[in-house]
Amino acid sequence: MSQKGFIPIIFILVILLLSGGIIGSSFYIKSRSTSTTKLTPVLVSSKDQLNTKRDTQASDSSVIKLNANQENQANELLPCSNGLDNIKCSEGYTCYHSVPGGPAPLGTPPEPTSGDKKCHKNCIFDKDCPSNTPICVKKTIQIGDVSGPNKNICFSKDDGLKDREEQYHDCLSSKEAGYDQAVANGKNSDQEIIVSLPAKYHSELLTKEFGLNILGETKDIYGSILYSVIPLDKSKENFLKVACQLDLDTRINNVTAVYKGEPF
């Protein structure tokens, strides 16, 4: 083969080599581009997950702070008044402020007021009370010339326990004087205790928890049941003790110790 015949062959080989290099480069670039495209969604997804986690943590933190604020607000004794300024409490709270006789025209009550002029949470049991006022105590709050119904409200542990003890001893002293007067009047027979019990409670509260015999029952105009009861031990000491235990029980409306025809 002549030298002239080799020249076209060499030219064709060079063209083929160059074409293969270009195609290989194009495939590499395309593969790299495809690989990069596939990684991008993974990176975006990870970023979204991190943002979601941060948002969740921030939300949880807000809930914890909100709950803490609500608890602090519930524990705070807010000011109130049943006098001329008449500052009301929120629903579920009672203003501990007695104004006997009602406020005078110039703003000075005819009798000294009592109570701390704070809103206390209503309750039936100690467990209904917040942590800073954990003791449920029965109170009579008077506004004007007539005493209002008994209110069960929450007090601090020291004040609540002290109040319960004072009420119990005051009750014993008061009822003992009435008992002795009834005996002096010759009416120490047919003794009984009249208990006003809300309709949602049943006689088992009196028979099982206090060990009382039920002599009879009637219903008052407010829907409460009036039970006539007597303790098994009819001694003076036990009679008065039971009457005062009933009197301080926050589930019971009112208690009246009675000798036939002579309540005290």
**In what helix (H) or strand (E) does residue 37 lie, and over which residues does it extend?**
helix 3-75
Would you say residue 88 lies in a domain? no
How many domains does the chain contain in total? 3
Asked if residue 8 is part of any domain, the answer here is no
Candidate from 142-146, 150-154, 213-217 with smallest mean pLDDT: 142-146
Inter-CA distances, 133 with 121, 160, 248, Å: 9, 8, 18
- Listed in sequence order, the residues at least 6 apart from 99 whose beta carbon sits closer than 8 Å to its beta carbon are 82, 83, 109, 113, 142, 143, 144
Mean pLDDT of 227-240: 89
Its domain, for residue 190, covers: 162-263
Structure tokens given for 198: 């809300």
Residue 53 to residue 95: CA distance in whole angstroms? 46
Q: Among 73, 105, 135, which residue terminates a domain?
A: 73
Write the pLDDT tens digit of every residue in 239-256.
Answer: 899 999 999 999 988 888
Strand 135-144 vs strand 99-100: parallel, antiparallel, or unpaired?
Answer: parallel
Name all contacts of 198-201 with Cβ < 8 Å and 24+ positions apart: 198/223, 198/224, 198/225, 198/251, 198/253, 199/223, 199/224, 199/225, 201/251
Q: Quick: pLDDT tens for 31-54.
A: 444 444 444 444 344 555 545 555
pTM here is 0.63
Please tell me which residue, 44 or 11, carries the higher pLDDT value.
11
**84: in domain:** no
Considering the domain architecture, whether residues 167 and 150 belong to the same structural domain is answered as no
Q: Are residues 145 and 198 in the same domain?
A: no
- CA–CA separation, 18 and 104 (whole Å): 113
